[in-house]
């Protein structure tokens, strides 16, 4: 008789205790080959396709799209033939899961042992990531233990807190999942916690454009497509030497500012799953050729959905190039816990005054957002001047 093999959510990255199911690649009853991707799971570190460890049929899915799977807990079942290593059980007919009535847990005050609320390590890690105080949770676990679900209930807005929304007969409703949900959560927190202030500067890109064109063949011979982004990354790293507070994190809890010596620059990119911000690390130590090659490799991994969890963390400042899509300018939102972000507008030809003569030049609007708690107008102007002068 066929048996079932239960596949748990594996350890996808450092500190990850849950993953959001963003897409099922297989339907119930579908045949699965060994190592064939079954489900796409996204964490705050990366988006990964999880393969089947054994051949068989997809017998059960424990989560719908948009729901959170927990580390080392069941994700899906495979109906297998023969013997396999791991937990198996006698198979049941393959059918769609029926809704189960959920009984609300009995509300309890969290149990305190010493100075700590009773909670498992995974629950504490999730509470830390979401900024939830465990003592403010209603405990539903045994003996007054706070569970992961208790933390999620505190983090998610209640119906009474939700903004009233009009619904019309011809509306289309789509779930907020994956990168879009993470981005929404991150931007909401950033706007709440950081007093943004914006600064704009116009950049003459004509000479920079020519330098890039002259160097394209040199890098093409190495299999690398040269773009303007490495020039911006190098210029930003040099500008940070003038304004270190733009490469810092504000630790309000301990009343201190952490100035980062490393220039780990996040670069916003469009991927198949939405906007992502992989991080190019240690830019301050790179020569230009090394920087170009490192950026090219990072971008290729991003477009191929091959980024690892380490590629997505430890950023100290960010760049977003929305101008490639046509926007002249904008006011980018600073990713927590950074203090600055640089936005690059569209490059376009315009009439400009050069040596008291009218000339057609390529120009670009540079749009900065700063954490006004640390960076004032003078510091913003200093950073921008250094950035623009390096590129001009």
3-state helix, strand, coil in the chain (%, to 5): 30, 30, 40
Specify the pLDDT at position 270.
80
The tens-digit pLDDT sequence of the chain (392 residues) is 568 899 999 887 655 677 888 889 999 999 999 999 999 888 765 678 899 998 999 999 999 888 888 888 899 999 987 665 555 554 444 444 444 444 444 556 666 665 578 888 778 877 776 777 888 788 888 878 888 888 877 766 544 455 666 677 877 777 777 666 777 777 777 878 889 999 999 999 999 999 999 999 999 999 999 999 999 999 999 999 999 999 999 988 788 899 999 999 999 988 766 678 999 999 999 999 999 999 999 999 988 878 887 888 889 999 999 988 888 889 999 988 899 999 999 999 998 888 889 999 999 999 999 999 999 999 999 999 999 999 98
In 3D, which of 178, 176, 179 has the Cα closest to residue 276? 179
Specify the pLDDT at position 67.
85
**Can you tell me the distance from the alpha carbon of 14 to that of 131, in angstroms, rounded to the nearest whole number?**
18
In 3D, which of 335, 331, 325 has the Cα closest to residue 367? 331
36 CB-near residues (< 8 Å, 6+ apart): 51, 52
9 CB-near residues (< 8 Å, 6+ apart): 18, 19, 41, 50, 69, 70, 71, 72, 73, 75
On the CB side of 20, CA atoms within 13 Å amount to 18
CA distances from 131 to 182, 251, 320 (A): 14, 14, 26
Identify the structural domains of the chain with CATH numbers, from first to last. 3-90 (2.40.50.100), 105-155 (4.10.320.10), 195-391 (3.30.559.10)
**Over the range 134-148, which residues count as b (16 or more CB within 10 Å of their CB) and which as e?**
beebebbbeebbbbb
Specify the pLDDT at position 215.
96
Q: Whole-prediction pTM value? A: 0.65
**Alpha-carbon Rg for the chain in angstroms:** 25
Tell me: the pLDDT tens digits for 251-290? 887 888 999 999 999 999 887 666 789 999 999 999 999 9
**Can you tell me the distance from the alpha carbon of 309 to that of 43, in angstroms, rounded to the nearest whole number?**
9
Specify the pLDDT at position 92.
47
CB atoms within 10 A of CB 73: 14
CB atoms within 10 A of CB 14: 9
**Can you tell me the distance from the alpha carbon of 384 to that of 373, in angstroms, rounded to the nearest whole number?**
18
262 CB-near residues (< 8 Å, 6+ apart): 281, 282, 284, 316
């Amino acid at each position: 008789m066929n048996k079932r093999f239960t596949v748990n959510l594996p350890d996808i990255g450092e500190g990850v205790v849950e993953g959001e199911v963003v897409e099922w690649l297989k339907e119930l009853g579908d045949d699965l080959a060994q190592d064939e991707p079954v489900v796409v799971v996204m964490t705050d570190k990366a988006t990964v396709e999880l393969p089947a460890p054994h051949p068989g049929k997809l017998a059960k899915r424990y989560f719908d799209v948009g729901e959170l799977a927990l580390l080392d807990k069941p994700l899906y079942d495979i109906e297998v033939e023969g013997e396999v290593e791991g937990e198996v059980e006698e198979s049941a007919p393959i059918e769609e899961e029926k809704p189960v009535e959920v009984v609300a847990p009995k509300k309890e005050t969290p149990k305190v042992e010493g100075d700590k609320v009773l909670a498992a390590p995974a629950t504490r890690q999730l509470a830390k990531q979401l900024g939830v105080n465990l003592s403010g949770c209603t405990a539903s676990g045994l003996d007054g233990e706070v569970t992961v679900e208790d933390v999620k209930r505190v983090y998610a807005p209640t119906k009474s807190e939700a903004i009233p929304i009009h619904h019309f007969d011809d509306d289309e409703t789509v779930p907020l999942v994956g990168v879009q949900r993470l981005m929404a959560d991150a931007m909401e927190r950033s706007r709440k916690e950081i007093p943004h202030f914006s600064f704009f500067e116009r950049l003459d890109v004509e000479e920079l454009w020519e330098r890039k064109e002259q160097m394209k063949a040199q890098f093409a011979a190495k299999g690398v497509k040269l773009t303007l982004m490495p020039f911006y990354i190098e210029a930003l790293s040099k500008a940070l030497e003038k304004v270190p507070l733009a490469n810092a994190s504000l630790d309000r809890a301990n009343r201190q500012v952490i100035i980062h010596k490393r220039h780990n620059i996040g670069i916003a990119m469009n991927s198949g799953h939405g906007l992502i911000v992989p991080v190019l690390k240690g830019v301050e130590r790179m020569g230009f050729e090394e920087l170009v090659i490192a950026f090219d490799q990072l971008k290729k991994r991003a477009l191929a959905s091959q980024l690892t969890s380490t590629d997505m963390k430890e950023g100290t400042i960010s760049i977003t190039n929305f101008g490639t899509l046509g926007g002249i300018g904008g006011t980018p939102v600073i990713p927590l816990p950074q203090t600055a972000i640089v936005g690059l507008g569209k490059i376009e030809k315009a009439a400009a005054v050069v040596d008291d003569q009218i000339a057609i030049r390529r120009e670009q609007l540079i749009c900065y957002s700063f954490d006004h708690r640390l960076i004032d107008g003078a510091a913003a102007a200093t950073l921008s001047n250094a950035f623009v002068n390096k590129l001009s």
